[in-house]
Amino acid sequence: MQPQVHKGRLVFIGTGLQLAGQIGALSLSYLKQADWVFSLVPDGFTEQWIVDLNPNHASLQPFYAQGNEIKSRRDTYTQMVDAILEKVRQGLKVVVALYGHPGVFACVSHNAIAQAKLEGIDAKMLPGISAEACLWADLSIDPGRSGHQSYEATQFLLYNHVPNPKTHLLLWQIALAGEPTLTAFSTTKSRLQVLVEHLSQWYPLSHEVIIYEAANLPVQSPRIDRIQLQDLPDARLEMISTLLIPPAKTLSLNLAMCERLGFTEAELG
């Protein structure tokens, strides 16, 4: 009779956007009880808070390019997944704490969970408070009123996406717009100008847009900079900057559909 191999367990959790205050109770429980914790968070305060809760910890940050090193983030993410799964294969209960929501703009979580499941390892993800959730709260916007569309900025440029100017448009990772190589951490003014010209098909150049950054610490305030679309190439952009483009047109009723459903325009107010 062969000895039974003890399989570990993998759980990805989100720390939310603000230190300590936006993590769920279940995620906090997993974090405290883990045999080993990996983290990828934006500041030393959050990392130290994690270490205080569970000292069996390693940061994933060193896998990124260091100094003048040129390194594809694809390679970085692969190395992160390998490091995580190496611990899980040792039979440990491993928790990976990621900034914000662990499944939003976080391929490491999806790739690691998929590989773990292929190996018969219990793996799952718990939701976290995302930058988008903070954005709606900080800007007092109900996205249900007119709807919204959401794209990664470079993907928006490279693919045939057609935005609806009657809804809110979110462009994520705006500081990397037009940079598909995954080796740089910023874009150029000329590429941002291309984005502006592309957007001008649907939005006036004078249309007000918002550069948004959620606060990382309770003592901070979110960044909410309102500028004209044409001024975007000269704006200060950070890795965490998101571009919100409010509706440029008002919603209009589909009168044919209203008739099919038995409603009149007057009844819908």
Residues marked as catalytic = 73, 77, 99
Give the chain's radius of gyration (CA, Å): 22
Q: Would you say how long the chain is, in residues?
A: 269
Considering only the C-alpha atoms of the chain, give the largest distance between any 2 of them, rounded to a whole number of Å.
77
Residues 6+ apart with CB under 8 A from 177: 153, 154, 156, 157, 171, 187, 191, 192, 195
**Residue 45 is encoded by which pair of tokens?**
């305060």
